[in-house]
Structure 1
Amino acid sequence: MSDTSAQAFSPYDDTELINKHVAGGNHRDVIGGLWDELGALQADFLKANGLRPQHTLIDIGAGSLRAGVKLVPYLDSGNYYAIDLQAALLEAGYVREIEPAGLAGRFPRGNFAANAVFDVSGFRCMFDFGIAQSVFTHMPIARLGACLSSVAPHFRPGGQLFVTVFLAPPGVADKAFTQWPGGVATSPDRDPFHTTLHDLQGIASQASGWQMSVIGNWAHPRNQQMVRFTRQG
């Protein structure tokens, strides 16, 4: 899982910039801040939707492990896995967050990897749950189809992948739209990206072996909406 090539859609794709922020000690802020709030929100949401300690979970776009520091203590040892485009973010999260919290024994280094193509095959694990929080808000929604295809063989039947997106009403989807709460200005063609329910349904219809349901509001402070993909047997 060493392929880190990627088309640049947002500042998060700029490895030199990310490395500079990480070297300056900003591994928390560079992924959008709200470290404790969003980490806890993801963990609480997943637990409320069935995540239990015995389940395996893949954190897609895990960044510097904002959710990981909340989930590693909850899940059984070795059951949390993470991928991200930026190796420096994962390493900073591990060295500056996981190790100081005494969690390295529950989250071995072999459980995280950097790549740009949603490749989880190297973990040799079947997943019960997954989350991609604030991933497809920073790239065109068409990339979600590639993600679903890539991870599908590694999810158990009934497994659930939760994905956040910015949504815009159909009548204004072709222009900038301000999300409330949060006041984030989203766009159909530049970061941060929004999409529509119609486009999501189109992706779901072509994603073999997945069934989509829209959860919507999950109390995200910047109005990212939650979508569930369930792996069919």
Structure 2
Amino acid sequence: MGTSAFGGTLKRIFGARAIAGKYTSLQLDDDAIARGDYKLHLGGGSEGWDARGLFQLHLLRARGLEPSSTLLDIGCGPLRAGVHFIRYLDAGNYQGFDYNASFVTAGQRLIAEHGLADKRPSVAMLADFDFRGVERRFDYGLAFSVLNHCNEAQRKLFFANIGRCLAPGAKLFISHARWLKEPDLASARLSILNRFDAADLDLSNYGWPAPEQRSVCPIYELVKRSD
């Protein structure tokens, strides 16, 4: 069964409503986006905005991300981490997707405000983890605080489709992943390379108070096996 057929099967079984996510009903008008109200809807709010975004860049750099690497940022939101990745990566090497239109609009505006248009990032809408329009295979993938907001059907859909976007040997990082089990990874030909718990990471310096640190972890570093 192809991945698009698999996705259609899941929708028929679980219903379209099951494919929706945490931010489905969130809509911000132009004034709210200009004020930066989107920051209020992500963990850490305005106070932890930059630090939590930088954490994602620093984690991937520590695990081998280089300016020449290509990165697929799944659930990129309003580019809390994206602006840091775009600034670091070579031009054309960042592609971000989110299913919330307000977040995508905010991200596109931040690219202009930060003077990053010359880096030629791509930030676009993506519904239901439908990666059929992705034309390249990436060296790195990131789903930070994304799949923890999904149900089992949505996670199956993600893993059924994500493999097509990753080059052999590519790394995929998934946070807030206490739910993850190795059988989840089979359809994407992924294997667990590393698991990072709160004790392994300096989360307090990136805007996470102690009570929240356990929710961020485990963070899994997965690797794509050869096709």
Band the TM-score falls in, shorter-chain normalisation: 0.7 to 0.9
Q: Please report how far the alpha carbon of residue 39 of structure 1 lies from its aligned counterpart in structure 2 after TM superposition.
A: 0.6
Of the three residues 25, 28, 38, the one matched with 1:19 is: 28
Matched, 1:137 2:137: no
Identity across aligned pairs (percent)?
Answer: 30
Match among 216, 222, 226 for residue 229 of structure 1: 222
Shift of 1:10: 5.2
Contact residue 182 and residue 191 of structure 2 kept, 8 A: no
Q: Is the 8 A contact 2:33 2:106 kept in 1?
A: yes
The answer to whether the Cα contact below 8 Å between 2:108 and 2:123 also exists between their aligned partners in 1 is no
Contact 2:107–2:123 (CA under 8 A) maintained in structure 1: no
Instruction: Between 28-37 and 152-161, report the one with greater CA deviation.
Output: 28-37
1:107 maps onto 2:120 in alignment: yes
Q: 1:155: which partner in 2?
A: 166
Indicate yes or no: 2:106 matched with 1:92: yes
Aligned residue for 1:180?
none
Count residues with an aligned counterpart: 193
Q: 1:19 touches 1:88 (CA, 8 Å); kept in 2?
A: yes
Post-superposition shift, 1:162? 0.4
Q: Deviations over 1:17-71 (max 9, x none)?
A: 3335647640222222221111100000000001011111000000001111101
Which amino acid letter does the alignment assign opposite residue 152 of structure 1? G
Stretches of structure 1 that go unaligned for 5 or more consecutive residues are: 168-194
The alpha carbon displacement at 1:142 in A equals 4.6
CA apart distance, 1:86: 0.5
Counterpart mapping for 1:167-178 below 5 A: 167=178
Q: Residue 229 and residue 76 in structure 1: after superposition, are their counterparts in 2 closer, same or farther (change >3 A)?
A: same
Determine if the alignment matches structure 1 residue 62 to structure 2 residue 76: yes
* Aligned-partner residue type, residue 63 of structure 1: G
Provide the aligned C-alpha RMSD in A: 2.2
The answer (yes or no) to whether the contact 1:77–1:106 under 8 Å persists in 2 is yes
Q: Structure 2: give runs of 5+ residues left out of the alignment.
A: 1-15
Aligned twin of 2:176: 165
| TM-score of the aligned structures, taking structure 1 as reference length | 0.74
CA distance in 1, matches of 2:166, 2:192: 15
Match of 2:189 in 1: 209
Distance, in Å, in 1 between the alignment partners of 2:145 and 2:221 is 14
Amino acid at match of 2:225: Q
- For residues 155 and 10 of structure 1, do their structure 2 counterparts lie closer, same or farther at Cα, with a shift above 3 Å needed? closer
| Residues 1:117 and 2:128 aligned together | yes
Moved over 6 A (4+): none
Structure 2: how far apart are the matches of 1:8 and 1:125?
Answer: 25
